[in-house]
Chain A
Amino acid sequence: MDNQKLSEKIDKAKEWFGESILPEIPEAISNNLKHNMWPLQEEAFKNFLFYENVKEGSSNESLPNVEFVKKDEPTHLMFNMATGSGKTMLMAACILHYMQLGYRKFLFITNQTNILDKTEENLINKLHQKYLFDDQLMINSERVELKKVDSFSKTKNFEIRIETIQSLHLDLQESNQRENINSLQELNDLDLVILADEAHHFNVMAKSPKSEKDIEENWENTILNKIFRHSKISLEENKNKLLEFTATIPEKKNVLEKYQDKIIYDLPLKKFREAGLTKEINIVTFTLSQKEKILYALVFNWYRHKVALKHGIKNFKPVILFRRKTIEESRSDYDEFLKIVKNLTIDDFNFLSTDIPNKIQDANLGQSNNFGHTRTSQILEELEDPSMRNELVDFIKENFNEKSVVITNSKDNKKKSESITSDLQKQLNNLEDPRNLIRAIFTVQRLTEGWDVQNLYDIVRMDQGVNEGGTNTKVAPATVQEAQLIGRAVRYFPFKYEFSDTHKRKFDQDLDNELRILEEFFYFTYDVKSRYLSEISKYLREKGYVDGPPIIRVEFKDKFIQKNKKFYNNGVYWINEVLSKDFDQQQDIDEQDLKIEYKLQALEIVEQYVTFSELDRPERVKEKTYPSTFKLSEIEPHILHKALNQIYFDGDYMSFSKFKDLFNIENSYEIFSNTVLSKLTVSLESQYQTLDYMPNKEILRIVTDVLKEFLQKVIEVEMRNIGTDIFIHESLNSLHTTPKRKIYKPSQESKSLEAMSVLTTIQNADWYITSTILDEENTTPNFFPGTDEERDFCLYIESMVPSLKEVFKNVFLLRNEEKIKLYNYQSGIGFQPDYILYLQKNEKLFYYVLIEPKGPQLINTDSFKELFLEQVNNAFGMNGESLHANNFEYKIIGLPFYVSKNSINVFNSKHKLPNQEDRSYENFDNAFRELLK
């Protein structure tokens, strides 16, 4: 237990006592923030609140009294969170929490001046796009201001000092004491909240033991022992707070031990990336000339701009960074760049159409990170139209000029290190601002820590050599710096697209979607085929920047094609035609759709004192909940409209103008009175007896969720066509012309011995006609790419193959991979049966069997699919009409859902659902065996 981080101990406590031990985020805090926190930020902040509430002996009875909260010394915590995960937002929330508690003096410290500017913009500058607080701060029902000061006053004003740790340390040296600067004595008289950013730099003592004189004189000692834990009062009486924030705690034993009991939240980049909150990194190596490198990056920039415009992504302005080892080279690149752009013609891009594919190579990173070739092909396709090349040249000339291309080194700087004006620093900290003109940056190493940018999409390494200085076991420091720069670029650029989460990647399951490039970052580097590339890849992999879940590709087996040429060339698959129809809200929205059930998560209360060494799992007591029902039209209009505004009420997909046409209304007020929404009823289960007792914030949350669900359904219904009983055919060999590629997240179960044995069976079987391959390696995956139900179904077919082969000339099982879509007759809802079994009865006749393995828990929800399969079977099955294609006759047979024996038994023993008595393994088995007759 002692080796656990504080955050792990809190996780353990959550596991034992239930999530409800964590406090809700008070409205007083969320209302004072301009934006909502992301779920991971909320998680971090709740850990913090939990710790502080336990420490301060909160009156909340549901809080367990855990021993890891240190009550007899001042709070010292560390937020260890990945770059871009929003540490400053958490800092703002922590400030608000302490303001509520009466703290009035905040000391922000860091090690770099550029971070000071950024922090000031986040916490002080109300006019800045990245200001984090609400315009008007309300603390304990009073309007207040948080003012930046150089020295804390003796007033009760809320004040913040924003300093580098070095300048603070120097200010406190006796020899530097001066008027208007707080003395140590004065700081010790205050209850201070110290916020330390990029705190991994504050570990001089822990890094290497020093002499007493060194310790006395270093700034870590100043912060820790002179300001935070000063000797003026006892530790029990000391009310100071020290919150540290960093993405990278140095991996040194001493430092790790120092922070073990302080890490209140640990969010490694890997977790952050897996949550879909970053761009995906791609490294492309090339053997291009300096000019071609520049143009190649510019083409990527233009293509992103083009895709964003096409899809209505607002204010999308991708930025490129050109990186160099020396200031002189960077300056020369910058001048050269402007010259190239000035004289640019379409002929300059000829290198793209000739042998570019031979000159670029995707670095061997993770499978989600090798898209240089794919995107280049997409771009080349776009440029096939000659007019596009003119447009490209116009775009570059308009957008990359002396105003929009900057260098992080002022012309008049004579120093050896880079230096820029504070105005440029401010612009660089605000690249996402629509009015910000910067499109390209030339730099050496000015932009590393504390640079906060979301729309940096490409970095071009202009050097051609190797970074020196590493050893066989240690990465060269310059390479580490480059990897850290790449780290700055993984921040996701949030954009709205349909109903997906603005802040999350949207195309992990659709990697060939042209919009995917808006969530990909590219690092271009010369192909040195050296230690450099393998080092940077290794570093990125170790730090969790790359190597996501594998991508699988599904295609026809070569063996199948070779041995069954006639069937492969003449066989077909069947889809039914669809008819478009006008949307009629009264007819097309079912009564059932107008009733929405909503369960507000109930609190769980536990009461027990524990130490983890003598713990018994406590009883959980669920707070009582009450059912209630209300119509949306009964909710106060201002809440309804706030909810509408929160659910993407602009853009093309779901705009007011869309609903205006759809519901035939004049203004948004009518949407709740003159449309089907007026009939929308919510059956609510919550801890509130009636809505009267419920806080508006909760009502807003419910209404927003309900509206979102319902309007999404309306749009789906509106876009839906009606399936007809006219079946048309497509050539089987066209099905996998473009193999299906998708990211597949294998479960533990899919890697079991049993699952692997089924995979081997189907990969080798002549009756299973597609193969699943890891896209990059071209090898068989080490997991079964499907659900447990699908795995059992494959085993079932394997067991039936001998009997099938006695009756049928050929047996072919096709995994559909969501390519063949059928449309329900009544509702028009589309669905893709998972498997199609081709059974060739004789030279002329095929049974075309549609099969859908289904987990028992989904049988009722998906019953419409089973009904449709039955209807198809009645119309085109054994006793129905025959279909003909390429001299073959087809009988389309729809079978009941396949449910495995095991899962239906387990399910039936635990649940009792309506109509469940009729459901058994035999439903499918009996129908299947009919085929053998």
Chain B
Amino acid sequence: MNLEKILQNDKRIWDEEILDYPQLFELARTYDKELLETLFNNKESKKKFFIQVGDSNEFYG
């Protein structure tokens, strides 16, 4: 899974061509809606970062 590619359109977490890791972790920590949607909408990252509990999916990144 190429996480950088999956996240490439989220301008908030890029410092020119370098991923801004502290910002990414902060968004993950605060369950940022846009980030979670991006991860959820990709098959591979959904599998890696979400767990299905009943009818819902829980983010455990």
Chain A interface (Cβ within 8 Å of chain B)? 305, 308-309, 314-317, 394, 398, 434-435, 650, 657
Least distance between B13 CB and chain A CB atoms (Å): 9
Q: Is the CB of A317 within 8 A of B16?
A: no
Is B55 on the interface with A (CB-CB < 8 A)? no
A–B complex contacts, Cβ < 8 Å, 13 sampled: A305-B22, A309-B23, A314-B15, A314-B20, A315-B21, A317-B21, A317-B22, A434-B15, A434-B18, A434-B20, A434-B21, A435-B21, A657-B11
Q: Give the docked Cα–Cα distance between A314 and B26 (Å).
A: 12
Q: Give the docked Cα–Cα distance between A434 and B24 (Å).
A: 12
Q: Is the CB of B20 within 8 A of A315?
A: yes
Q: Is the CB of B25 within 8 A of A314?
A: no
Q: Give the docked Cα–Cα distance between A398 and B24 (Å).
A: 13
Known contacts A314-B15, A315-B15, A650-B16, A308 near B29 by CB under 8 Å: no
Centre residue among A316, A317, A394, A657 by max chain B CB count within 10 A: A316
Tell me the number of A-to-B contacts counted with CB atoms below 8 Å. Answer: 29
Is B35 on the interface with A (CB-CB < 8 A)? no
Q: Is the CB of B19 within 8 A of A434?
A: yes
Residues of chain B within 8 A of A308, CB atoms compared: 22
Q: Which 5 A-B pairs have the closest CB atoms?
A: A314-B15, A314-B20, A315-B20, A434-B21, A434-B18
Residues of chain A within 8 A of B23, CB atoms compared: 309, 314
Q: Give the docked Cα–Cα distance between A435 and B19 (Å).
A: 9
Which residues in chain B, 6-48, are within 8 Å of chain A measured between CB atoms? 11, 15-16, 18-23, 25-26, 29
Please, which residue of chain A has its CB at the minimum distance from the CB of B18?
A434
Residues of chain B within 8 A of A305, CB atoms compared: 22
Known: A308-B22, A394-B29, A434-B18. 12 other contacts (CB 8 A): A305-B22, A309-B23, A314-B18, A315-B18, A315-B21, A315-B22, A398-B29, A434-B19, A434-B20, A435-B21, A650-B15, A650-B16
Residues of chain A within 8 A of B20, CB atoms compared: 314-315, 434
Least distance between B26 CB and chain A CB atoms (Å): 5
Least distance between A649 CB and chain B CB atoms (Å): 10
Least distance between A538 CB and chain B CB atoms (Å): 38
Residues of chain B within 8 A of A650, CB atoms compared: 15-16
Please, which residue of chain A has its CB at the minimum distance from the CB of B30?
A391
Least distance between A592 CB and chain B CB atoms (Å): 35
Least distance between A604 CB and chain B CB atoms (Å): 39
Q: Give the docked Cα–Cα distance between A314 and B13 (Å).
A: 8
Least distance between A37 CB and chain B CB atoms (Å): 21
Centre residue among A309, A314, A316, A435 by max chain B CB count within 10 A: A314
Q: Give the docked Cα–Cα distance between A778 and B1 (Å).
A: 61
Residues of chain A within 8 A of B25, CB atoms compared: 398
Pick the contact of A316 from B16, B19, B22 — CB < 8 Å?
A: B22
Residues of chain A within 8 A of B21, CB atoms compared: 315, 317, 434-435
Least distance between A257 CB and chain B CB atoms (Å): 48
Residues of chain B within 8 A of A317, CB atoms compared: 21-22
Q: Give the docked Cα–Cα distance between A847 and B41 (Å).
A: 68
Least distance between B21 CB and chain A CB atoms (Å): 5
Residues of chain B within 8 A of A315, CB atoms compared: 15, 18, 20-22
Q: Give the docked Cα–Cα distance between A315 and B23 (Å).
A: 7
Q: Give the docked Cα–Cα distance between A234 and B23 (Å).
A: 62
Of the four ranges (under 10, 10 to 19, 20 to 34, 35 or more), the interface on chain B belongs to 10 to 19
Q: Give the docked Cα–Cα distance between A316 and B19 (Å).
A: 12
Least distance between A298 CB and chain B CB atoms (Å): 16
Residues of chain A within 8 A of B26, CB atoms compared: 309
Please, which residue of chain B has its CB at the minimum distance from the CB of A312?
B23
Please, which residue of chain B has its CB at the minimum distance from the CB of A650?
B16
Least distance between B14 CB and chain A CB atoms (Å): 8
Q: Give the docked Cα–Cα distance between A309 and B11 (Å).
A: 15
Residues of chain B within 8 A of A398, CB atoms compared: 25, 29
Least distance between B43 CB and chain A CB atoms (Å): 25
Least distance between A494 CB and chain B CB atoms (Å): 12
Please, which residue of chain A has its CB at the minimum distance from the CB of B11?
A657
Residues of chain A within 8 A of B22, CB atoms compared: 305, 308-309, 315-317
Q: Give the docked Cα–Cα distance between A305 and B21 (Å).
A: 12
Q: Give the docked Cα–Cα distance between A309 and B28 (Å).
A: 13
Least distance between B16 CB and chain A CB atoms (Å): 6
Residues of chain A within 8 A of B19, CB atoms compared: 434
Residues of chain B within 8 A of A314, CB atoms compared: 15, 18, 20, 23
Residues of chain B within 8 A of A434, CB atoms compared: 15, 18-21
Please, which residue of chain A has its CB at the minimum distance from the CB of B26?
A309
Residues of chain B within 8 A of A316, CB atoms compared: 22
Q: Give the docked Cα–Cα distance between A650 and B18 (Å).
A: 13
Least distance between A387 CB and chain B CB atoms (Å): 11
Please, which residue of chain B has its CB at the minimum distance from the CB of A398?
B25
Q: Give the docked Cα–Cα distance between A797 and B23 (Å).
A: 55
Q: Give the docked Cα–Cα distance between A316 and B24 (Å).
A: 12
Please, which residue of chain B has its CB at the minimum distance from the CB of A655?
B11
Please, which residue of chain A has its CB at the minimum distance from the CB of B15?
A314
Please, which residue of chain B has its CB at the minimum distance from the CB of A310?
B26
Q: Give the docked Cα–Cα distance between A892 and B15 (Å).
A: 50
Least distance between B31 CB and chain A CB atoms (Å): 13
Q: Give the docked Cα–Cα distance between A316 and B23 (Å).
A: 9
Least distance between A235 CB and chain B CB atoms (Å): 50
Q: Give the docked Cα–Cα distance between A394 and B30 (Å).
A: 11
Q: Give the docked Cα–Cα distance between A516 and B23 (Å).
A: 20
Please, which residue of chain A has its CB at the minimum distance from the CB of B29?
A394
Please, which residue of chain A has its CB at the minimum distance from the CB of B21?
A434
Q: Give the docked Cα–Cα distance between A372 and B29 (Å).
A: 29
Residues of chain A within 8 A of B29, CB atoms compared: 394, 398
Please, which residue of chain B has its CB at the minimum distance from the CB of A391?
B29
Least distance between A750 CB and chain B CB atoms (Å): 42
Q: Give the docked Cα–Cα distance between A314 and B22 (Å).
A: 8
Please, which residue of chain B has its CB at the minimum distance from the CB of A394?
B29
Please, which residue of chain A has its CB at the minimum distance from the CB of B28?
A398
Q: Give the docked Cα–Cα distance between A657 and B20 (Å).
A: 18
Residues of chain B within 8 A of A657, CB atoms compared: 11
Q: Give the docked Cα–Cα distance between A435 and B18 (Å).
A: 9
Residues of chain A within 8 A of B18, CB atoms compared: 314-315, 434
Please, which residue of chain A has its CB at the minimum distance from the CB of B25?
A398
Q: Give the docked Cα–Cα distance between A650 and B11 (Å).
A: 10
Q: Give the docked Cα–Cα distance between A261 and B15 (Å).
A: 46
Q: Give the docked Cα–Cα distance between A281 and B18 (Å).
A: 30
Least distance between A470 CB and chain B CB atoms (Å): 42
Least distance between B7 CB and chain A CB atoms (Å): 14
Q: Give the docked Cα–Cα distance between A317 and B18 (Å).
A: 14
Q: Give the docked Cα–Cα distance between A435 and B20 (Å).
A: 9
Q: Give the docked Cα–Cα distance between A314 and B25 (Å).
A: 12
Please, which residue of chain B has its CB at the minimum distance from the CB of A305?
B22
Q: Give the docked Cα–Cα distance between A434 and B22 (Å).
A: 9
Q: Give the docked Cα–Cα distance between A434 and B29 (Å).
A: 18
Please, which residue of chain B has its CB at the minimum distance from the CB of A651?
B15
Q: Give the docked Cα–Cα distance between A65 and B25 (Å).
A: 61
Please, which residue of chain B has its CB at the minimum distance from the CB of A306?
B26
Least distance between A775 CB and chain B CB atoms (Å): 33
Please, which residue of chain A has its CB at the minimum distance from the CB of B19?
A434
Q: Give the docked Cα–Cα distance between A434 and B11 (Å).
A: 17
Q: Give the docked Cα–Cα distance between A316 and B18 (Å).
A: 12
Least distance between B35 CB and chain A CB atoms (Å): 14
Least distance between A390 CB and chain B CB atoms (Å): 11
Least distance between B60 CB and chain A CB atoms (Å): 13
Q: Give the docked Cα–Cα distance between A305 and B25 (Å).
A: 12
Q: Give the docked Cα–Cα distance between A434 and B19 (Å).
A: 8
Q: Give the docked Cα–Cα distance between A315 and B11 (Å).
A: 14
Least distance between B12 CB and chain A CB atoms (Å): 9
Q: Give the docked Cα–Cα distance between A315 and B21 (Å).
A: 6
Q: Give the docked Cα–Cα distance between A657 and B11 (Å).
A: 10
Residues of chain B within 8 A of A435, CB atoms compared: 21
Please, which residue of chain B has its CB at the minimum distance from the CB of A318?
B22
Least distance between A659 CB and chain B CB atoms (Å): 14
Q: Give the docked Cα–Cα distance between A664 and B26 (Å).
A: 32
Least distance between B57 CB and chain A CB atoms (Å): 22
Q: Give the docked Cα–Cα distance between A317 and B24 (Å).
A: 13
Q: Give the docked Cα–Cα distance between A398 and B21 (Å).
A: 13
Q: Give the docked Cα–Cα distance between A348 and B11 (Å).
A: 37
Q: Give the docked Cα–Cα distance between A314 and B21 (Å).
A: 8
